[in-house]
A and B are shown apart, each in its own frame.
Chain A
Amino acid sequence: MGNNRRVRVMVAKPGLDGHDRGARIIARAYRDAGFEVVYSGLHQTPEEIVEAAIQEDVDMIGLSSLAGAHKYLFPRTVELLREKSAEDIVVCGGGIIPEDDIPPLKEAGIKEIFTPGTALDDIVKWVKENVKPR
């Protein structure tokens, strides 16, 4: 078996937003960094995302939203994790998120937000520094 914990993350697309280019690019960057990446596919409810994350035993959920519903979908995901006593799963997000929305999202428990133009290296580095395999 060989004792080595791998970082496992899930890249998820909540809501009706069909923009998946960014999510796929992020998933590939994570894989290239050596993480095991579960990709959720499009049109997931926060409930489905949280259930899948628990079954997959991931260390982090990365939410991607470009359609403007992040203000509800992101905090709802964190809330559901708390309800399931799974708040040890870190949540971050990215996409088209207006500057003004970021502080309230962080207050709601989303640990970091990455907007367009962020270098993939920085996105990967953040996981290495902030997500430890549990």
Chain B
Amino acid sequence: MTDVAEKIVNGDVRAVARLIRDIDDGMPGVRQVLKELYPSTGNAYILGITGAPGVGKSTLVDQMVSHLRKRDKTVGVLAVDPTSPFSGGAILGDRVRMQRHSMDEGVFIRSLATRGHFGGLTQSTRSAIDVFDAMGKDYIIVETVGVGQDEVDVVKSAHTTIITVIPGMGDDIQAIKAGILEVGDIFLINKADREGTDKTLSDLRLMINMDHKKYEEGNWKPPILKAQAVFDKGVKELLEEIDKHRKHLTEHCGGWQVRRREDKVRQELGDMIKSRLIEEVLGKITETGDFDEAVNSIVEGKTDPYTACDKLVLPAIGVSTG
């Protein structure tokens, strides 16, 4: 085992912080460490929390951490915020809501930026989850702004996925339908102190009922809960619902460690291959300048994009151009 892997398994905070950075920055050597850490993973229960900006996800995570700590569970938090498309920088402000846990050794909070590299968010977040898992965290909570495909993919790595909305979102609720409704194990209406909670509740109920598969015998029926995260109301009930979902996975899905199940392994390995291919191929052809050259040739009318693509990709993956 490398020094780094050993430090991480022993819970060394600085080593963990550094490895997550290296993963994010795509530094050489991380893959070796991740390979060594893999046997130590599979023990953490992973929660995904997603929803529009401002619905109260970070506030909720903060409260959940407190409840989990009362149960003597250790927690890792990955809070993902968007990268500015203009500068490539980001303001990572989720931590502000969770600062009271800074001095608690049983809690590790890490902010990540989406960065916008191809398939990179999914890959680097999954790897960061593995690092927290290997360091021995009992629960890992991933907070993402639920919009893009990347975010949906990220929450797919979770054992329990919580979709957070607020009253009066109207059309926005319709928008969740596309793509993300299927991944929700629990729906939470936060800011239930506000008007329109019951209307949102019935809207959501209708949409989930339309999803017939959810009501087949033995399937998990996603509950809809109300909460007021700032006032710590409904958070205990949320955790109880998470316990129930975990029990459901254990009893009906061959154990809660679903990330080791064939369908999940298939998905995660497929995703990993995709991002690895992009990294290797696109990386190589941009470095050599072949990519720019091809762009120019197409612009000048010397070739077509189909031919150019074949010429760039096939040799890079060891297939001869026919």
Q: Which residues of A contact B (CB under 8 A)?
A: 1-6, 8, 27-28, 30-41, 44, 47-48, 51-52, 54-57, 86
How far, in whole Å, are A92 and B241 apart by their CA atoms in the complex? 46
Known: A34-B87, A44-B99, A48-B102. 9 other contacts (CB 8 A): A1-B25, A1-B279, A3-B25, A6-B24, A6-B115, A31-B87, A33-B89, A39-B93, A40-B99
How far, in whole Å, are A8 and B110 apart by their CA atoms in the complex? 12
Given contacts A55-B109, A56-B111, contact A27 B91 (CB under 8 A): yes
Q: Which residues of B contact A35 (CB under 8 A)?
A: 89
How far, in whole Å, are A26 and B303 apart by their CA atoms in the complex? 48
- Which single member of B28, B84, B99, B283 contacts A32 (CB below 8 Å)? B84
Pairwise interchain contact B92-A51, C-beta atoms closer than 8 A: no
Q: Which residues, 1 to 47 on B, are CB-close (under 8 Å) to A?
A: 13-14, 17-18, 20-21, 23-28, 30
How far, in whole Å, are A3 and B28 apart by their CA atoms in the complex? 8
Pairwise interchain contact A56-B102, C-beta atoms closer than 8 A: no
How far, in whole Å, are A30 and B115 apart by their CA atoms in the complex? 15
B117 contacts A by Cβ under 8 Å:
yes
B66 contacts A by Cβ under 8 Å:
no
- Which single member of A2, A34, A47 contacts B279 (CB below 8 Å)? A2
Max chain A C-beta neighbours (<10 A), residue from B13, B20, B86, B90: B90
Given contacts A1-B124, A55-B13, A55-B108, contact A31 B91 (CB under 8 A): yes
Pairwise interchain contact A54-B14, C-beta atoms closer than 8 A: yes
Helix, strand, loop or mixed for chain A's interface?
Answer: mixed
Given contacts A6-B25, A36-B113, contact A55 B17 (CB under 8 A): yes
| Distance from B104 Cβ to chain A, minimum over Cβ atoms (Å) | 9
Pairwise interchain contact B84-A31, C-beta atoms closer than 8 A: yes
B311 contacts A by Cβ under 8 Å:
no
Max chain B C-beta neighbours (<10 A), residue from A32, A38, A40, A41: A38
Max chain A C-beta neighbours (<10 A), residue from B24, B86, B89: B89
How far, in whole Å, are A48 and B20 apart by their CA atoms in the complex? 20
Given contacts A1-B279, A2-B117, A31-B84, contact A39 B96 (CB under 8 A): yes
Interface mask (B97-132 → A, CB under 8 Å = 1, otherwise 0): 101001100001111010101001001100000000
Q: Which residues of B contact A3 (CB under 8 A)?
A: 25-28
Pairwise interchain contact B95-A32, C-beta atoms closer than 8 A: no
28 contacts between A and B (CB under 8 A): A1-B275, A2-B117, A2-B120, A3-B25, A3-B28, A4-B25, A5-B27, A6-B88, A6-B113, A27-B91, A28-B91, A31-B84, A31-B90, A33-B89, A36-B83, A39-B92, A44-B102, A47-B102, A52-B95, A52-B99, A52-B102, A54-B17, A55-B13, A55-B102, A56-B17, A56-B92, A56-B95, A56-B111
| Distance from A64 Cβ to chain B, minimum over Cβ atoms (Å) | 14
Nearest CB in chain B to that of A86: its residue: B14
- Which single member of A32, A33, A52 contacts B109 (CB below 8 Å)? A52
Pairwise interchain contact A40-B95, C-beta atoms closer than 8 A: yes
Pairwise interchain contact B103-A48, C-beta atoms closer than 8 A: yes
Shortest beta-carbon contacts, A-B, top 6: A1-B26, A41-B96, A31-B89, A57-B17, A48-B102, A3-B26
Q: Which residues of A contact B90 (CB under 8 A)?
A: 31, 36-37
Nearest CB in chain B to that of A39: its residue: B93
How far, in whole Å, are A32 and B89 apart by their CA atoms in the complex? 6
Nearest CB in chain A to that of B120: its residue: A1
Q: Which residues of A contact B279 (CB under 8 A)?
A: 1-2
Q: Which residues of B contact A5 (CB under 8 A)?
A: 25, 27
Pairwise interchain contact A36-B96, C-beta atoms closer than 8 A: no
Q: Which residues of A contact B115 (CB under 8 A)?
A: 6
How far, in whole Å, are A3 and B95 apart by their CA atoms in the complex? 26
Given contacts A1-B279, A2-B279, A52-B109, contact A34 B20 (CB under 8 A): no
